[in-house]
Amino acid sequence: MEQIDKNRFHLQKMAVNYDKMCQITVPGYDFLQNAAIDILKFENIEEIVLLDLGAGSGILIEKVLKEFPDSSCYYLDSSDEFMSVAKERLQKYEDRVNYIKSDFCKNWESKMTKKPTVITSMSAIHHLQTENKKKLYQKCYDMLEEGGWFFNIDEMKTVTEDAYLKNLYYWIYHAQKQKYTISDDLSPSYEAWMEKFSGWKKRNLDNVHIPKQEGDDIHEPFLAQLDCLKEIGFTETDIFSKHMLWCLIGGKKSF
């Protein structure tokens, strides 16, 4: 049975509505991004060259550019629609952002002229099957400058299946209750976002036992993904923060 809506990331309205709603309807969205930025401040990296994988509407890139005035960024995404929204958001930083249109499995690294000192991703890598996740993690390790950091903020399974299912239901609860907190001008975007979110519910709860394919929401345990990062060679690997389904994992490429 085919679950995936292959065009869901290539609709202009979807990109615009996601940009307006993700910080409201995704649990811990800003909290987890800000936690990653706090780690970077603590690490005191001399030059931040950020690569953001599946960068969407550019929210995380904007935060990094604001927080680190000397930083530069590579934006990578396969969606023209999301890239269009991101270019509008990041317009005043245009001299510090390079845009790359590519999916994760292509040769995107050939379009970069500098090695990144930080690689991030949010809500993107979970669409890959296990082997392609591992290949991407390896590519990130190979691309990073020594001393650089990799962070993945994503939907992940937790330690037990019952807790994982509760985390899925929590996201529905969280999204539904936002209806009573948003301003009237955001109501159309909220309703459009919830309509798309019903597809997420169908894929992940109603059809929870149906095998997943590339592009679906392929949730894997954060512990397994941490093991993978360690096997590749990352050090200081950890789950730095967690909010229900959403986890911030990562590690460092040591000198």
Query: pLDDT tens per residue, the chain (255 residues)?
Result: 444 545 544 457 889 999 999 999 999 999 999 999 999 999 989 899 999 999 999 999 999 999 999 999 999 999 999 999 999 999 999 999 999 999 998 999 999 999 999 999 999 999 999 999 999 999 999 999 999 999 999 999 999 999 999 999 999 999 999 999 999 999 999 999 999 999 999 999 999 888 899 999 999 999 999 999 999 999 999 999 999 999 999 999 998
Helix ranges (DSSP H) in 98-221: 130-143, 161-177, 187-201
Residues 6+ apart with CB under 8 A from 6: 215
Measured CA to CA, the distance from residue 178 to residue 13 in angstroms comes to 20
Closest Cα to residue 219, out of 100, 133, 96, 140? 133
Q: What angle do CA 27, 155, 151 make, to 5 degrees?
A: 95
